[in-house]
């Protein structure tokens, strides 16, 4: 692809074509990512204020053959926002393109720019008595442009879908500098190829999303939360079917939690209030959002009764008020932080056909035991078939020793996932972390179509070079 | 693109490479379409039995530069399945690739081949107590491959989404003959570009879908149906918001019906039992699918009470049993047939932002009145913003006279839709009917990206030449 570095001549050219103050140097935070795996290189950063400025920048970069790294909230977990090598790229931060353009409450549509922080969008929806259901741990700093570029998932996918399901239209700058004005507020639009979904999840490699028309939902009249202790992951799945049988789409969240995660919490975050005195081996956190006239506690009790009668639930706690609901969710939300504090995590983000999950957990444990002794914290969005299967050293083992086994362990997990028709990246994307995995496990016809699409839309290869594909 | 005709030499080559009986001549039904606008030309047809045979055919066609028209149930309404001109193509019928491969009831997944008839898929799902919610007038003959290729809509989109929302994965033959084995049963899979959604809705121009993993839903414990008379389309939209406020996702269908449609029914299909003695100017058909423990009649009564108190409903009829529900739906389902019998229909399939619908209906009537006197039957899937705005001659006017005004009237409607940020093809697609509309109203950046993607994946241009793009 023969890209050039974003050198002084290029930044001078940019400066000439943009308002004063658009250009700066990267700050350290732009060169780091949450997992600490990659380190970017200091260099030029541009913070345009409008979509038209983005278009101008992209056009100049295409002419100069300079790579662009689109930068949102910097919360991605696969290194898509970091350029550790190759010709120095331009970091294009969307942080100033952050207006909430319009809310159409009656239409259940909100239009905002890429730089809006996810939590702010949630709040704006709430102010007009609507719900923007995308919900994830980093929502306080993640920006919607990045959420869409990576097709973010989170805890409400079961009911409301991934980021792509919550987006009706996008405005984007394509790699040739053209602006696609695609901010449709339509539920149905069959006029040609689905470019919206092509851009969503393309991780900045096919263009820069600058604004989006987002789908809001009515807010459930009342919500309820419960912890149910289950005898096994298989039982948890049957419990999910039972709950959906009783409550249909009103089951909003269904999270599997392993005893190891609760023990880690006790160890490193003892202030997080735990639901059970003795951590059960498996439990699920259920969230329901009900229509008016239904009582959450009784609805959850009815689920528990039936589940208990079928041997699917051994114990249960139903939140009695909003504070207790919050406490329950706090347990789930602190598990990633506890993992981080335990350290030396070998993480994964896999999805499986629902029918294969229980078998996967058992078999993965066996295969990992063949490699050595480890602590495993397997948790995740069970309703979506999405597990975070994380492997930690046993006490006494050093991080360095553990790290030596990283490649082998990840191979074991990913090979098994692949054999079971699962995905080695359920919700975090490919970024730079899983470029090799994509090649190894990807369908050859799909990969060649992807390369053809990339070459067609970004022939110079300026958009996020190094993400998804080897440069 | 310089395609060649599917001549005797080419069919001989195909015959050598396929099992006996694969090749035949087209039958008249393959050369016609429901609207009677296009006439195909008699020529060779191939009916492969396996995906591998499709791949072989596509490879040979690409080598020989022969166009392929993928053929499903032949029910498309925009001529995507008919080749009226240009080098004679090969008709590739999917009718023999029609196995139901697997049902994973616990996973809510069904895997079937492209040639499966939609109604058979619905029945197969019902047999395992699940719902495949895609539902449309032609379901008795439409095949799922075509439903996906055109991203079909129908009456349950409000709750369950379009065809693309009901598909987890596809198997497809790409224009170079490669088979993409993409039959994932996953709710989350962020491993690269969303080729599935690129193929869905591409109307056979980027490849041939040969099988799909479809998303099933739990069947609602009980259903209810009601007709509410509303004072206006604006009131109908407020009624929808009210119903969804009370019942959330359990509102499955919300169809707007105009008095003209009911009068047409009386005129040409007098045996269809009508709900009201005097056809009201506007009414809506509401379908709800409730969880166990909720009574449909009381739920609908509660909606009616509140709607009535707010002046949103003037009269109402709630179905008291399954037969009555069926009768109510029969009214809605016979409207297209009545339109057809009235004849000389100038139809449209548009969608609008919900907030623009009431204004659109008023303004479109005004603009059309400026052209002349007509009868207008405006009905559709109101919850999705999807209207079929159909224009008929007044009695005494001949079909030929009416036809002369077709282009002008369609331009009036489509220009207004475009001004209001709507879509000139909500659920039927572009096919051959709206190729010019796509060029006129399409976003230039999107169109150039579409052309780039088409050229990248189908450089010879063999896939459904003449659909979506001018050849």
Q: Under a CB-based contact definition with an 8 Å cutoff, are residues A169 and A196 in contact?
A: yes
Euclidean distance between the first and the last CA atom of chain A, given in angstroms as a whole number: 7
Q: Under a CB-based contact definition with an 8 Å cutoff, are residues B216 and B132 in contact?
A: yes
By C-alpha distance, the chain A residue nearest B105 is A355
Enumerate the residues of chain A whose CB falls inside 8 A of the CB of residue B133.
Answer: none
In this structure, chain A runs to a length of 471
By C-alpha distance, the chain A residue nearest B248 is A291
- Which residues fall within 8 angstroms of residue A347, CB to CB, at 6 or more apart? A35, A339, A388, A389, A390, A391
Return residue ranges of chain A for CATH 3.30.465.10.
100-218
Contact B381 A153 (CB under 8 A): no
* pLDDT number for residue A390: 95
Looking at the DSSP bridge assignments, the partners of residue A44 are A25
Min Cα separation A437/chain B (Å)? 9
The one-digit pLDDT tens for each residue of chain B (471 residues) are 599 999 999 999 999 999 999 999 999 999 999 988 999 999 999 999 999 999 999 999 999 999 999 999 999 999 999 999 999 999 999 999 999 999 999 999 999 999 999 999 999 999 999 999 999 989 999 999 999 999 999 989 999 999 999 999 999 999 999 999 999 999 999 999 999 999 999 999 999 999 999 999 999 999 999 999 999 999 999 999 999 999 999 999 999 999 999 999 999 999 999 999 999 999 999 999 999 889 999 999 999 999 999 999 999 999 999 999 999 999 999 999 999 999 888 999 999 999 999 999 999 999 999 999 999 999 999 999 999 999 999 999 999 999 999 999 999 999 999 999 999 999 999 999 999 999 999 999 999 999 999 999 999 999 999 999 997
Contact A188 B427 (CB under 8 A): yes
- Please name the helix (run of DSSP H) or strand (run of DSSP E) that holds residue A441, with its range, or none: helix A435-441
Q: Give Cα B46 distance to the centre of its chain.
A: 25
Q: Mutating which of B164, B192, B463 best tests the A interface, going by the most A Cβ atoms within 10 A?
A: B192
Contact A455 B450 (CB under 8 A): no
- Which residues fall within 8 angstroms of residue A271, CB to CB, at 6 or more apart? none
Sheet holding A109-113, edge to edge: A100-104, A109-113, A208-215, A167-173, A179-182
- Which residues fall within 8 angstroms of residue B16, CB to CB, at 6 or more apart? none
Pair of tokens at residue A267: 């160890």
DSSP codes joined into one string, B325-361: HHHHHHHHHHHHHHHHHH---B---EE--GGGHHHHH
By C-alpha distance, the chain A residue nearest B449 is A457
Pair of tokens at residue A409: 């362990």
Min Cα separation A271/chain B (Å)? 33
Give the one of B162, B192, B438 whose C-beta lies nearest to A188's C-beta. B162
Q: Under a CB-based contact definition with an 8 Å cutoff, are residues A67 and A4 in contact?
A: no
DSSP structural state of residue A230 = -
Please tell me the class of the A220-338 domain: alpha beta
**How far is B284 from B313, CA to CA, in rounded Å?**
10
| pLDDT-derived band at A35, boundaries 50, 70, 90 | confident
By C-alpha distance, the chain B residue nearest A175 is B449
Q: Mutating which of B101, B146, B153, B188 best tests the A interface, going by the most A Cβ atoms within 10 A?
A: B188
3-state secondary structure of A68: strand
Domain A343-428 has CATH 3.40.50.150: no
Neighbour tally for A333: CB within 10 Å: 16
Which CATH number is A100-218's, of 3.30.465.10, 2.40.110.10, 3.90.1580.10, 3.90.550.10? 3.30.465.10
- HSE-CB of B173 using CA atoms within 13 angstroms: 28
pLDDT over threshold 80, residue A1: no
Enumerate the residues of chain B whose CB falls inside 8 A of the CB of residue A249.
Answer: 248-250
- Please name the helix (run of DSSP H) or strand (run of DSSP E) that holds residue A101, with its range, or none: strand A100-104
The strand pair at A90-93 and A44-46 is best described as parallel
- Which residues fall within 8 angstroms of residue B309, CB to CB, at 6 or more apart? none
Contact A195 B424 (CB under 8 A): no
Give the one of B158, B192, B247 whose C-beta lies nearest to A438's C-beta. B192
Give the one of B186, B430, B444 whose C-beta lies nearest to A353's C-beta. B186
* CB contacts < 8 A (A, B): 272
Looking at the DSSP bridge assignments, the partners of residue B104 are B109
Q: Under a CB-based contact definition with an 8 Å cutoff, are residues B285 and B211 in contact?
A: no
Give the one of A195, A427, A443 whose C-beta lies nearest to B182's C-beta. A443
Return residue ranges of chain B for CATH 3.30.70.2190.
222-419
Return residue ranges of chain A for CATH 3.30.70.2740.
343-428
Cα torsion A297, A298, A301, A303: sign: negative
Enumerate the residues of chain A whose CB falls inside 8 A of the CB of residue B104.
Answer: 353-355
By C-alpha distance, the chain A residue nearest B181 is A443
CATH number of the domain located at residue range(s) B222-419 in this protein: 3.30.70.2190
In A105-248, which ranges are E strands? Answer: 109-113, 130-131, 167-173, 179-182, 208-215, 217-218, 222-229
Mean pLDDT of chain A: 96
Q: Mutating which of B146, B161, B170, B187 best tests the A interface, going by the most A Cβ atoms within 10 A?
A: B187
Min Cα separation A25/chain B (Å)? 31
Q: In angstroms, what is the C-alpha Rg of chain B?
A: 23
Contact A447 B192 (CB under 8 A): yes
By C-alpha distance, the chain B residue nearest A234 is B106
CA angle B393, B397, B399 (to 5 degrees): 70
Looking at the DSSP bridge assignments, the partners of residue B317 are B227
**How far is A142 from A50, CA to CA, in rounded Å?**
20
**How far is B227 from B285, CA to CA, in rounded Å?**
5
Residue owning tokens 């948790």:
A379
Q: Of the candidates B131, B43, B141, which has an alpha carbon nearest to the alpha carbon of residue B92?
A: B43
**How far is B198 from A163, CA to CA, in rounded Å?**
17
**How far is A326 from A323, CA to CA, in rounded Å?**
5
Min Cα separation B423/chain A (Å)? 6
- Which residues fall within 8 angstroms of residue A157, CB to CB, at 6 or more apart? A381, A383, A384, A386, A427, B187, B188
- A293-306 pLDDT per residue, tens: 899 999 999 999 99
By C-alpha distance, the chain B residue nearest A180 is B445
The strand pair at B386-393 and B374-381 is best described as antiparallel
**How far is B115 from A412, CA to CA, in rounded Å?**
38
Angle between helices B357-371 and B233-247 (to 10 degrees): 160
Largest Cα span, chain A:
73
Contact A188 B250 (CB under 8 A): no
**How far is B96 from B71, CA to CA, in rounded Å?**
11
Contact B427 A355 (CB under 8 A): no
Min Cα separation B121/chain A (Å)? 20
Q: Under a CB-based contact definition with an 8 Å cutoff, are residues B236 and B133 in contact?
A: no
Enumerate the residues of chain A whose CB falls inside 8 A of the CB of residue B458.
Answer: none
* pLDDT number for residue A344: 84
3-state secondary structure of A389: strand
Return residue ranges of chain A for CATH 3.30.70.2190.
220-338
Contact A453 B453 (CB under 8 A): yes
- Please name the helix (run of DSSP H) or strand (run of DSSP E) that holds residue B258, with its range, or none: strand B251-258
Residue owning tokens 């809310």:
A103
Contact A107 B355 (CB under 8 A): yes
Min Cα separation B188/chain A (Å)? 5
Q: Under a CB-based contact definition with an 8 Å cutoff, are residues B381 and B158 in contact?
A: yes
**How far is B217 from A263, CA to CA, in rounded Å?**
36
**How far is B152 from B154, CA to CA, in rounded Å?**
7
* pLDDT number for residue B471: 79
């Amino acid at each position: 692809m023969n890209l050039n570095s974003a050198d002084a001549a290029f930044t001078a050219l940019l400066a000439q074509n943009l308002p004063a103050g658009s250009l700066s140097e990267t700050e350290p935070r732009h060169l780091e990512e949450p997992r600490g795996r990659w380190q970017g290189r200091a260099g030029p950063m541009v913070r345009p204020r409008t979509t038209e400025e983005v278009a101008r920048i992209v056009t100049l970069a295409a002419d100069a053959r300079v790579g662009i790294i689109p930068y949102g909230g910097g919360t991605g977990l696969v290194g898509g926002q970091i350029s550790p090598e190759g010709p120095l790229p331009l970091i294009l931060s969307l942080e100033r393109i952050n207006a909430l353009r319009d809310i159409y409450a009656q239409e259940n549509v909100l239009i905002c720019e890429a730089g809006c922080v996810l939590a702010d969008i949630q709040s704006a929806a709430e102010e007009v008595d609507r719900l923007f259901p995308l919900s994830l741990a980093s929502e306080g700093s993640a920006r919607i442009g990045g959420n869409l570029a990576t097709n973010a998932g989170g805890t409400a996918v079961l009911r409301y879908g991934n980021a792509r399901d919550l987006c009706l239209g996008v405005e984007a700058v394509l790699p040739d500098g053209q602006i696609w004005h695609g901010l449709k507020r339509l539920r149905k639009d069959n006029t040609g190829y689905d470019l919206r979904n092509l851009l969503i999840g393309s991780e900045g490699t096919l263009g820069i999303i600058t604004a989006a028309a987002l789908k809001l939902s009515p807010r459930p009249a009342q919500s309820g939360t419960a912890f149910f202790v289950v005898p096994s992951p298989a039982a948890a799945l049957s419990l999910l079917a039972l709950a959906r049988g009783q409550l249909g789409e009103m089951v909003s969240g269904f999270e599997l939690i392993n005893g190891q995660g609760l023990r880690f919490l006790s160890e490193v975050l003892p202030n997080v209030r735990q639901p059970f005195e003795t951590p059960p081996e498996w439990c699920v956190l259920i969230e329901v959002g009900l229509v008016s006239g239904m009582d959450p506690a009784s609805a959850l009790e009815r689920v528990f009764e039936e589940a208990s009668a079928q041997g699917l639930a051994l114990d249960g706690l139903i939140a009695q008020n909003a504070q207790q609901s919050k406490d329950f969710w706090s347990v789930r939300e602190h598990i990633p932080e506890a993992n981080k504090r335990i350290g030396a995590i070998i993480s994964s983000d896999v999805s499986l056909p629902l029918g294969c999950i229980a078998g996967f957990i058992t078999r993965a444990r066996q295969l990992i035991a063949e490699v050595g002794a480890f602590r495993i914290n397997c948790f995740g969005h069970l309703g979506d078939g999405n597990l975070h299967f994380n492997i930690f050293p046993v006490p006494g083992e050093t991080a360095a020793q553990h790290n030596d086994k990283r490649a082998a362990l990840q191979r074991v997990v990913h090979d098994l996932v692949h054999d079971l028709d699962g995905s080695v990246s359920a919700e975090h994307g490919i970024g730079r972390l899983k470029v090799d995995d994509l090649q190894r496990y990807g369908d050859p016809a799909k990969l060649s179509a992807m390369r053809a699409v990339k070459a067609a839309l970004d022939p110079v290869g300026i958009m996020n070079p190094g993400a998804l594909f080897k440069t």
